[in-house]
Amino acid sequence: MTDELLVSAREAVATAPPVGDLAYETYCRELAKRLAAHWPAVLEANAEDVAAAEERGLSPVLLDRLRLTTAHLAGLERLTEAVLSELAEVTAPDAGVPTGPWGTRSRVPKPLGVAFMVYEARPTVTVEGALLPVAVGNAVILRGGKEIARTNQALAAVAHDALDAAGLPTGLVSVIDDPRRTQLRALLKRPDAIDVLIPRGSPSLIDYCRTASSIPVIASGGGVNHLYVHRSADLDLAAEAALDSKLPEPTACNTAEMVLVDEEVAADFVAALLRASERGDRPVNVRLAAHAPRPDTADASAPGRPWSLGELQEHDLGREFLDATIGVYPVAGQAEAVRHIRTYGSGHTEGVVATDTDVTREFARRVDAAAIVVNGSLRLHDGPTLGLGSEISISTGRMHVRGPVTLGALVTHSWVVDARGTLRSSL
């Protein structure tokens, strides 16, 4: 089964038209059309997955991850439109550069080859994986969590119909529905047949893929992200940035888990954070470090508050809460904040709020992450938001690509040298 899968994917890459062929634009359009046409069937399959997950006792947060709605369809349709609009620029060969008096060199885009995406129970990732890599000529093998097996089968059928309608090999998209890890382990040991591994999900999933395989990895690392609030900060802005970095998407990889705040302003920041939460419509659980200031006891126990207070534990440092929880940890200053981030951060997204430009400049210089946000929400670290284009993931690695993994990161290039009859021995 594994060998057949890999042969099919490799043959699909070999027989597919070159990068930039109009068939890929057709595929984008056909995928959007067929998603809309078959969405009721997709939702029916998804409802079965959600019901089974509820019976197994999955948490509300995890259930929200795997549940699809009409709003998701609208978002996926927008994604296909965005990819379609970006293809021409990403896939165009360059104009060529003279190599002295004897010739020219140019770069021609080529697919990476066969990509293997491993991810968890997010069915929208199945569509993203069937779209972005394929639009630039790659074959993709998709292995999602067992919780969305029925949904993935329905989405695979949609992708195959779209490929067929576009005149592309259906082997460009393969979905694994084996819930066991046997096939996963076998695929991870095939660097001869798989060109790139793209894991998305928890730190444990990323680490497993890194250690179990020698296939080159574009890793979307865990989002243990921090927001440092300097004593010069506008504390109302800091509070709003902290909540916006957490509440809209508590399980996303670019959310804030911990606020590191200068001790001198910690009490005022906590007060501003609770006030800001009362202006919103989403409850938040604030976990305070043992040395953090506590609000007035009467206020803390008042009914109807949109916030709750908890105690920050040692094991909370360096973890993703994966819910509407945010920690507050007072620090002695920027140096301690930087040390904390170096110890516990995952290198994904870090932020600083300060009016002192020397502080923000030094923070950006000393902190090492795929993105550093100054005076704003960590959720700004996103390919479309930054104007970089559609993304398949956000990479925390250092090689090939770091930050949003856009269409341009899913192609490689060949150098084309027009030598005009030149021999090396004549130079």
The whole domain housing 318 covers 225-380
Within a domain: 55: yes
Structure tokens at 177: 């529905």
The rounded distance, in Å, linking the Cα atoms of 427 and 425 is 6
Does residue 201 share a domain with residue 105?
Answer: yes
pLDDT at res. 182 = 86
Within 13 Å and on the Cβ side, how many CA atoms surround 343? 8
Domain count, the chain: 2
Does residue 343 share a domain with residue 315?
Answer: yes
Structure tokens at 234: 């506008």
Residue 315: exposure state from Cβ atoms within 10 A (0-12, 13-18, ≥19): exposed
- Residue 338's nearest CA partner among 260, 235, 265 is 260
Does residue 197 share a domain with residue 77?
Answer: yes
The rounded distance, in Å, linking the Cα atoms of 215 and 209 is 9
Does residue 167 share a domain with residue 38?
Answer: yes
Contact criterion met (CB below 8 Å) for 228 and 337 = yes
pLDDT at res. 362 = 97
Does residue 246 share a domain with residue 200?
Answer: no
Within a domain: 391: no
Within a domain: 73: yes
Does residue 209 share a domain with residue 249?
Answer: no
Does residue 276 share a domain with residue 179?
Answer: no
Count CB neighbours of 255 within 10 A: 25
Contact criterion met (CB below 8 Å) for 341 and 334 = no
Q: What predicted TM-score, i.e. pTM, was given to this entire model?
A: 0.90
Question: Residue 313 maps to which CATH number?
Answer: 3.40.309.10
pLDDT at res. 219 = 82
Within a domain: 106: yes
Within a domain: 390: no
Question: Residue 210 maps to which CATH number?
Answer: 3.40.605.10
SS (H, E, C) the chain: CHHHHHHHHHHHHHHCCCCCCHHHHHHHHHHHHHHHHHHHHHHHHHHHHHHHHHHCCCCHHHHHHHCCCHHHHHHHHHHHHHHHHHHHHHHCCCCCEECCCCCEEEEEEEECCEEEEECCCCHHHHHHHHHHHHHCCCEEEEECCHHHHHHHHHHHHHHHHHHHHCCCCHHHEEECCCCCCHHHHHHHCCCCCCCEEEEECCHHHHHHHHHHCCCCECCECCCCEEEEECCCCCHHHHHHHHHHCCCCCCCCCCCEEEEEEEHHHHHHHHHHHHHHHHCCCCCEEEEECCCCCCCCHHHHHCCCCCEEEEECCHHHCCCCCCCCEEEEEEECCHHHHHHHHHHHCCCCEEEEECCCHHHHHHHHHHCCCCEEEECCCHHHCCCCCCCCCCEEEEECCCCCCCEEEEHHHHEEEEEEEECCCCCHHHC
Structure tokens at 425: 């021995």
- Residue 377's nearest CA partner among 352, 399, 357, 355 is 352
Q: Which residue do the tokens 């885009």 mark?
A: 109
Does residue 182 share a domain with residue 120?
Answer: yes
pLDDT at res. 298 = 44
Does residue 207 share a domain with residue 247?
Answer: no
pLDDT along the chain (427 residues), means of 10: 92 97 98 98 97 92 90 96 96 90 94 95 94 98 93 97 98 88 91 95 84 90 91 98 95 94 97 93 93 72 79 94 95 98 95 98 96 97 95 89 95 95 93
The rounded distance, in Å, linking the Cα atoms of 299 and 281 is 19
Does residue 247 share a domain with residue 214?
Answer: no
Structure tokens at 232: 């010069």
Within a domain: 299: yes
Structure tokens at 331: 């620090």
Does residue 229 share a domain with residue 216?
Answer: no
- Residue 155's nearest CA partner among 124, 132, 116, 184 is 124
Within a domain: 370: yes
Within a domain: 423: no
Q: Look at the chain and count its residues.
A: 427
Does residue 187 share a domain with residue 256?
Answer: no
pLDDT at res. 377 = 98
pLDDT at res. 303 = 63
The rounded distance, in Å, linking the Cα atoms of 33 and 72 is 14
Residues 6+ apart with CB under 8 A from 401: 218, 395, 409
Tell me the longest C-alpha to C-alpha distance in the chain.
88
Residues 6+ apart with CB under 8 A from 334: 228, 230, 359, 362, 363
The rounded distance, in Å, linking the Cα atoms of 163 and 140 is 13
Contact criterion met (CB below 8 Å) for 157 and 420 = no
